[in-house]
């Protein structure tokens, strides 16, 4: 079979050869885990990647022929809403007010509009993806040919978030 007809392997799979994978499996068997699985996130179905729900929400936020900067801005708002949605309901409003600061030149009406937009996105996230508790730690949009691609990573840590955890994440989100 020629190189072009072979299925594409992820970069991680190329770095780990068959011998390496066998050594990992042998080590797992010796430690009592004979059915150990080596997982490469690039092999996950799209629906299991954090970028998938973000891309779905982004498609509804931007319309027409948006610029890359408009998409980046919209995605930042979506991520802020996503991470804020992880807080208990009673703490979300205060967290947004404490973390989102506006330059003095931004009119009060515009500030309210932005806050309402993020609150709307929180509701949308909770409606569409209520059980997804992953905290988003990085995100970007790349232009690949004539397609926009959302790339994101989540913290698959504990499924319970303290206020400090979420506030640190929200601060990272707002400072991008």
Domain ranges of the chain: 3-43, 46-175
Residues 6 or more apart in contact with residue 72 via CB below 8 angstroms: 140, 141
Query: In whole angstroms, how far apart are CA 120 and each of 17, 27, 47?
Result: 47, 49, 23
d(CA 80, CA 75): 9
Give CA separation, 20 vs 27, 40, 138, in Å: 11, 14, 30
What's the whole-model pTM score? 0.65
User: How far is 174 from 176, CA to CA, in rounded Å?
Assistant: 5
- pLDDT tens, 4-34? 555 544 444 444 556 665 666 666 666 665 5
The CA distance from 14 to 43, in Å, is 13
What's the confidence (pLDDT) of residue 14? 44
Percent of the chain residues past pLDDT 70, beyond the cut: 62
Q: Report residue 105 as tokens.
A: 């030149």
* 84 CB neighbour count, 10 Å cutoff: 25
pLDDT of residue 9: 46
The model's pLDDT over 95-149, given as tens digits with 9 standing for 90+, comes to 888 878 888 898 989 989 989 999 999 999 999 999 899 999 999 999 888 888 9
CB within 8 Å of 86: residues ≥ 6 apart: 133, 135, 161, 166, 169
Distance CA 152, CA 84 (A): 17
Cα–Cα nearest to 121, from 60, 65, 165: 60
DSSP, res 160 = -
For residue 158, what pLDDT is reported?
44
Q: Is 125 exposed, middle or buried (0-12, 13-18, 19+ CB in 10 A)?
A: buried
């Amino acid at each position: 079979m020629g190189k072009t007809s072979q299925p594409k392997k992820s970069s991680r799979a190329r770095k780990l050869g068959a011998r390496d994978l066998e050594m990992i499996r042998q080590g797992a068997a010796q430690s009592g885990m004979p059915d150990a699985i080596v997982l490469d996130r690039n092999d996950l179905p799209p629906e299991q990647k954090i970028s998938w729900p973000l891309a779905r929400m982004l498609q509804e936020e931007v319309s027409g022929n948006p610029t890359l900067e408009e998409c980046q801005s919209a995605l930042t708002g979506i991520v802020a809403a996503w991470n804020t949605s992880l807080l208990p309901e009673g703490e979300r409003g205060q967290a947004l007010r404490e973390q989102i600061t506006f330059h003095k030149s931004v009119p009060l009406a515009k500030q309210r509009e932005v806050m309402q937009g993020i609150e709307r996105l929180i509701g949308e996230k909770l409606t569409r993806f209520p059980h997804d508790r992953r905290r988003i730690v990085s995100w970007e949009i790349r232009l690949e040919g004539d397609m926009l691609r959302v790339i994101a990573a989540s913290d698959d840590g504990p499924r319970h978030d303290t206020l400090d955890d979420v506030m640190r994440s929200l601060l990272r989100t707002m400072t991008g």
